[in-house]
């Protein structure tokens, strides 16, 4: 018996995908119920979340926002929701909100930290988002001096004199590079330091005596709350990245003195707890300054936090440099690039791209570690929460303050994490 071969003469119409593989049902199957084990874990997790929310949501939302004391707050809760209900007393946040944000900063001068925060966002924008005009980077470079003057106040000549130190350092490097590269780097460091320590103060005071321009002075002991955490955290994060890059490069250089200093600095800082450095900043650092120098405590803490973070950033970046294949260095040499051109154009961009998760993790840890300053007498949100709870009106309140403080820190840290993910996606040049 002869069989005739089957020859297809037309295409079959496509059939719809199975209901369990597309849409919400498909997502549930892939992510929550993909097999017996995952299904059991999903159900157990859902029950745990339900039990947690069943207790947490009534406590959070069946609460009181307006009261003058914890006793009044509990009385309102008992009268409104019954004696067996324990609701949150958010009235403490309503009552002490400005103190938690600004500390003891004069209320009539709140516009200064508010303006500083807005200007900070403007200054960070061209650094974080490259599609913005590059000319905005000029304002980003000037903002630290503007922000410090707005927060601390005083003579306008002080930030201008501090800015002049960088100009003198640039001039020293320019003229010194014509003689010797190492001499130029040393001059670029020493000239600004000498200017800032010995000359800046007298010259700024002299100019202010001739042309008195300034705003009301606010001492750093009036700083507090989230304002001081943001000032210390953002400043230390901004300064520690370039310093960490220089330390990472210094650790890999062939120059013995530079390499030895970089290695010694990194290993010493990483071997000392941050709280120890903060105690050094609060007690010992003034002994190394000229007699009569009034070195602001917040500035001392910023310096120590920057040094601490830069050591960890250096190691993270060193890991990124070590992950690059040797061919990248050879490619830079084949193009005839010198050391700094190769680092700027080829090596460092790739190393930073690899190190982005570690860098952001270090920044997040540093921002959360700003709460340690309460131990040396700076009233950050944690320190203020202790002071608020010491008040007879709010004695005995705990969870509401810590939940609010944790929520605000979460917003900042989560924003940094999301920006890290955005930057990784933007710089992802690989093929998957």
Structure tokens at 365: 């840890």
pLDDT at res. 317? 94
The sign of the torsion formed by the CA atoms of 418, 419, 422, 424 equals negative
CATH match for 100-105+221-427 among 1.10.3720.10, 1.20.1440.230, 3.40.640.10, 2.40.160.60: 1.10.3720.10
Structure tokens at 374: 């309460």
- Kindly indicate the confidence band of residue 431, based on its pLDDT and cuts at 50, 70 and 90: very low
pLDDT digits (tens, 9 = 90+) for 285-309: 667 666 666 778 898 899 999 999 9
- Kindly indicate the confidence band of residue 6, based on its pLDDT and cuts at 50, 70 and 90: low
DSSP secondary structure, 352-388, as one string: HHHHHHHHHHHHHHHHHHGGGGGGGT---HHHHHHHH
- Kindly indicate the confidence band of residue 277, based on its pLDDT and cuts at 50, 70 and 90: confident
CB within 8 A of 202, min separation 6: which ones? Answer: none
pLDDT digits (tens, 9 = 90+) for 91-105: 999 999 999 999 999
pLDDT digits (tens, 9 = 90+) for 166-203: 888 888 888 877 667 677 778 888 888 888 888 888 89
pLDDT at res. 375? 87
DSSP secondary structure, 400-429, as one string: HHHHHHHHHHHHHHHHHHHHHHHHHHHH--
Q: Between the CA of residue 1 and those of 6, 7, 381, 415, what are the distances in Å?
A: 16, 19, 92, 76
pLDDT at res. 314? 94
Domain layout of the chain by residue ranges: 32-61, 100-105+221-427, 154-215
Q: Is the pLDDT reported for residue 421 higher than 70?
A: yes
What is the rounded average pLDDT for all residues in the chain? 87
Q: Which region among 223-232, 250-259, 262-271 has the lowest average model confidence (pLDDT)?
A: 250-259
Q: Is the pLDDT reported for residue 18 higher than 80?
A: no
């Amino acid at each position: 018996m002869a069989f005739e071969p089957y020859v297809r003469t037309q295409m079959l119409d496509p059939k719809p995908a199975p209901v369990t593989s597309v849409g919400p049902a498909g997502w549930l199957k892939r992510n929550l119920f993909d097999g017996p084990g995952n299904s059991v874990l999903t159900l157990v997790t859902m029950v745990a979340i339900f039990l947690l929310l069943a207790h947490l949501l009534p406590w959070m939302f069946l609460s009181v926002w307006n009261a003058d004391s914890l006793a009044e707050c509990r009385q309102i809760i008992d009268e409104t929701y019954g004696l067996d209900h324990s609701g949150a007393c958010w009235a403490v946040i309503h009552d002490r909100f400005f103190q938690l944000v600004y500390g003891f900063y004069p209320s009539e001068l709140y516009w200064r930290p508010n303006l500083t925060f807005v200007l900070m966002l403007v200054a960070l924008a061209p650094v974080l988002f490259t599609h913005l005009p590059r000319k905005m980077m000029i304002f980003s470079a000037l903002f630290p001096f503007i922000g410090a003057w707005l927060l601390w106040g005083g003579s306008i000549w002080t930030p201008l004199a501090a800015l002049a130190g960088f100009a003198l350092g640039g001039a020293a490097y320019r003229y010194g590079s014509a003689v010797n590269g190492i001499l130029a780097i040393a001059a670029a460091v020493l000239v600004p330091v000498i200017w800032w320590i010995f000359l800046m103060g007298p010259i700024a005071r002299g100019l202010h005596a001739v042309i008195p321009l300034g705003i009301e002075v606010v001492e750093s002991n009036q700083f507090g709350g989230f304002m001081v955490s943001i000032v210390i955290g953002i400043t230390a994060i901004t300064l520690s990245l370039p310093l960490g890059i220089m330390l990472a490069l210094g650790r890999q250089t062939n120059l013995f003195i530079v390499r030895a200093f970089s290695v010694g600095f990194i290993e010493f800082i990483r071997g000392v707890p941050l709280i120890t450095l903060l105690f050094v900043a609060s007690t010992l650092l003034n002994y190394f300054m000229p007699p009569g120098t009034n070195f602001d405590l917040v500035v001392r803490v910023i310096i120590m936090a920057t040094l601490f973070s830069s050591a960890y950033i250096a190691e993270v970046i060193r890991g990124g440099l070590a992950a690059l294949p040797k061919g990248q260095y050879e490619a830079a040499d084949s193009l005839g690039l010198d050391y700094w051109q190769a680092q700027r154009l080829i090596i460092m961009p790739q190393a930073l791209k690899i190190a982005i998760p570690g860098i952001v993790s270090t920044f997040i840890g540093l921002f959360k570690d700003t709460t340690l300053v309460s131990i040396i007498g700076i009233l950050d949100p944690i320190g203020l929460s202790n002071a608020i709870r010491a008040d007879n009106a709010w004695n005995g309140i705990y969870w509401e303050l810590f939940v609010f403080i944790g929520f605000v820190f979460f917003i900042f840290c989560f924003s940094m994490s999301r920006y890290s993910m955005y930057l990784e996606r933007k710089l992802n040049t690989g093929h998957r």
